[in-house]
């Protein structure tokens, strides 16, 4: 996790002081150093605060190409970068660093905006292209890394956090419509809580030039139409493919020149990630677990079992309701939007403990519920498709229950032949608080979720979802967890007994009221 700030003006010179003020606000994202570059005509400024993870001694940014016509600042990480470095050298490029960030600069030189299709990772970056007199900014496919912008008084401001834009000179005023939307949990992914401050949406890039500013999508989900899809794969085939893909995903995220830790709950997702990481590492993995003072929410005993079984070192972080109340304002300051439950503050304390222990990188189970249909409304939504394959009475009961709920916030309840315009509109509304934004404070360790487009692409067909949703009871819960147990058993992440007992999901305790979102 690093911090980036960029200023671009067509008409006037930018103020160096504004760039520096923005960088100062991002010191917590990049405590290991800061540098900036301003173009000779003072129309462009790029600033970077660094959290050093790869090429610790020579990875400073901004980075320029050989003839100084391209400059880049990056927040994030590009996976499989060493293979791309080899390709670039064969194509004649001379790399100045061993940093993964530099590959984006030369890929842009080679492919232009199409460079994004050659990059794999979680990232937000900005490139100044002197030859074409344009600023190019891009965000990863799932929006794991934040990227905000504002066009104010003929100057484009871009930064990793809103507070950096405000410090650089963008005025602060509330967007009351965004507040109203947030109360319903449907803030669109291009909006913020502030007027005239926007996000580059996930899977999009921004180009600013003399002709203005434009946003363009470069990636989206692409699922085959069910009636046009056929597969000869068996459930065992999908399980083997999932094993391989999980293993690859974790191995790629372990590549770092600093120690890598792991967040651990009592859930199967973080336990699986820890199990794979432990098998791939020659040293014990350091794991971090929250322990609540409320028995109904605490998973310490399960976490201890998992850590012992995988040989991980486990640090228990005890927290109570007073801790959550004391640090609630801190979590809001870092999240920069409304928080719907205490999980945000709990993650803040978890990440703070990892940072205090000297860890800059941690693996998490984030993203697994989205990939594997872990949320109840995903299972309910499936009943709208191929209803002839489901028990009629079960379908009726579940769909009647859905009528009592907010159909936008609970899931996408449209048939496949619905209008694409309507479909895309509702999809843009499903923008819940990104969990990766909750752990960016005070030099927090870079939290790496399981999400990746390659992972998603391999499991986007109908058959695998039928596999995971093979049995649904009238409450919308999986009645048979054999698939999940069988799939993850190979990782040896949990004790054989009681490894497949029902594992509860830790939630930040708030009296006796349960919170709705998962934090494993």
* Domain-located, residue 326: yes
CB 137 within 8 A of CB 125: yes
CATH code of the domain covering residue 103: 3.60.20.10
* Domain-located, residue 389: no
- The answer on 331 and 203 residing in a single domain is no
- Choose one of 155, 182, 217: the last residue of a domain: 217
* Domain-located, residue 385: no
Top pLDDT among 238 and 460 is at 238
* Domain-located, residue 299: yes
* Domain-located, residue 425: no
Find the domain containing 17 and state its range.
Answer: 3-217
CB 207 within 8 A of CB 136: yes
- Measured between alpha carbons, how far is 482 from 479 in angstroms, rounded to an integer? 9
* Domain-located, residue 429: no
Tell me how crowded residue 173 is: count the other CB atoms within 10 A of its CB: 10
Average pLDDT across the chain, whole number: 80
3-class SS of residue 210 = coil
The least confident of 104-108, 174-178, 454-458 is: 454-458
Mean pLDDT within 145-165: 98
- The answer on 231 and 211 residing in a single domain is no
- The answer on 276 and 320 residing in a single domain is yes
The tally of domains found in the chain comes to 2
- The answer on 196 and 122 residing in a single domain is yes
Top pLDDT among 300 and 294 is at 300
Can you give the pTM of this predicted structure?
A: 0.80
Tokens of 32: 């290991």
What pLDDT, on a 0 to 100 scale, did the predictor assign at position 399? Answer: 65
pLDDT digits over 239-273, tens only? 898 899 999 999 999 999 999 999 999 888 899 99
pLDDT digits over 477-515, tens only? 433 444 444 444 544 444 444 343 444 444 554 433 333
Top pLDDT among 27 and 227 is at 27
- The answer on 275 and 346 residing in a single domain is yes
- Choose one of 152, 187, 217: the last residue of a domain: 217
* Domain-located, residue 94: yes
Q: Annotated catalytic, 335?
A: no
* Domain-located, residue 179: yes
**What are the φ and ψ backbone dihedral angles of 297, each rounded to 5 degrees?**
-110, -10
CB 8 within 8 A of CB 208: yes
- The answer on 286 and 242 residing in a single domain is yes
Select which of 2, 25, 335, 519 is catalytic: 2
What pLDDT, on a 0 to 100 scale, did the predictor assign at position 503? Answer: 45
User: Could you tell me the pLDDT band of residue 296, with boundaries at 50, 70 and 90?
Assistant: confident
- The answer on 72 and 113 residing in a single domain is yes
CATH code of the domain covering residue 318: 3.40.50.620
What is the C-alpha radius of gyration for the chain, rounded to an integer number of angstroms? 23
- The answer on 212 and 286 residing in a single domain is no
- The answer on 294 and 154 residing in a single domain is no
Mean pLDDT within 321-330: 92
- The answer on 61 and 111 residing in a single domain is yes
Top pLDDT among 165 and 441 is at 165
- The answer on 172 and 283 residing in a single domain is no
Q: Which H helix or E strand runs over 446? A: strand 446-448
Mean pLDDT within 352-366: 94
What pLDDT, on a 0 to 100 scale, did the predictor assign at position 156? Answer: 98
Q: What is the DSSP letter of 476?
A: S
What pLDDT, on a 0 to 100 scale, did the predictor assign at position 73? Answer: 99
Q: What is the DSSP letter of 283?
A: S
- The answer on 257 and 167 residing in a single domain is no
> Taking 90 as the threshold, does the pLDDT of residue 430 lie above it?
no
- Choose one of 188, 217, 246: the last residue of a domain: 217
CA distances from 165 to 124, 150, 256, 268 (A): 16, 8, 30, 39
């Amino acid at each position: 996790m690093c911090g980036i700030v960029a200023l671009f003006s067509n008409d006037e010179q930018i103020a160096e002081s504004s760039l520096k003020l923005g960088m100062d606000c991002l010191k917590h994202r990049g405590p290991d150093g800061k540098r900036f570059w301003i173009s000779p005509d003072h129309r462009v400024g790029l600033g970077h605060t660094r959290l050093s993870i790869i090429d610790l001694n020579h990875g400073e940014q901004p980075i320029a190409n050989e003839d100084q016509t391209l400059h880049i600042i990056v927040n994030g990480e590009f996976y499989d970068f060493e293979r791309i470095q080899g390709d670039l050298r064969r194509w004649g490029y001379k790399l100045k660093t061993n940093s993964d960030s530099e590959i984006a600069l030369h890929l842009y030189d080679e492919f232009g905006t199409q460079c994004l299709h050659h990059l794999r990772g979680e990232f937000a970056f900005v490139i100044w292209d002197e030859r074409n007199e344009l600023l190019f900014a891009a965000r990863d496919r799932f929006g794991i890394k934040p990227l905000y912008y504002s066009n104010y008084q003929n100057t484009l401001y871009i930064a990793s956090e809103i507070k950096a834009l405000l410090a650089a000179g963008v005025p602060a005023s509330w967007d009351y419509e965004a507040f109203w939307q947030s109360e319903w949990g449907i803030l669109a992914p291009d909006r913020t809580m502030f007027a005239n401050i926007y996000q580059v949406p996930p899977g999009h890039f921004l180009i600013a030039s003399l002709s203005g500013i434009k946003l363009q999508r470069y990636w989206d989900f692409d699922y085959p139409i069910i009636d046009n899809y056929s597969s000869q794969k068996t459930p065992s085939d999908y399980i083997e493919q999932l094993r391989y893909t999980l293993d690859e995903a974790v191995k790629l995220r372990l590549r770092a020149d600093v120690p890598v830790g792991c967040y651990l709950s009592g859930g199967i997702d973080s336990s699986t990630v820890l199990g794979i990481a432990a098998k791939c590492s020659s040293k014990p993995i350091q794991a971090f677990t929250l322990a609540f003072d409320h028995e109904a929410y605490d998973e310490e005993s399960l976490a201890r079992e998992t850590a012992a079984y995988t040989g991980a070192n486990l640090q228990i972080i005890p927290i109570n309701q007073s801790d959550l109340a004391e640090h609630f304002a801190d979590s809001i300051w870092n999240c920069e939007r409304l928080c719907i439950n205490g999980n945000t503050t709990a993650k803040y304390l978890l990440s703070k403990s990892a940072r205090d222990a000297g860890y800059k990188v941690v693996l998490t189970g984030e993203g697994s519920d989205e990939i594997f249909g872990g949320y109840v409304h995903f299972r309910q939504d499936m009943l709208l498709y191929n209803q002839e394959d489901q028990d009629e009475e079960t379908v009726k009961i579940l769909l009647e229950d859905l009528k009592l709920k907010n159909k936008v916030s609970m899931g996408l309840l449209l048939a496949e032949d619905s209008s694409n315009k309507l479909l895309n509109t509702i999809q843009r509304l499903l923008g819940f608080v990104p969990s990766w934004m909750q752990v960016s404070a005070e030099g927090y360790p870079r939290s790496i979720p399981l999400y990746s487009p390659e992972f998603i692409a391999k499991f986007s067909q109908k058959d695998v979802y039928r596999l995971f949703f093979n049995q649904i009871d009238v409450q919308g819960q999986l009645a048979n967890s054999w698939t999940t147990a069988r799939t993850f058993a190979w990782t040896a992440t949990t004790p054989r007994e009681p490894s497949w007992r029902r594992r509860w999901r830790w939630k930040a305790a708030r009296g006796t009221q349960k919170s709705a979102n998962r934090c494993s």
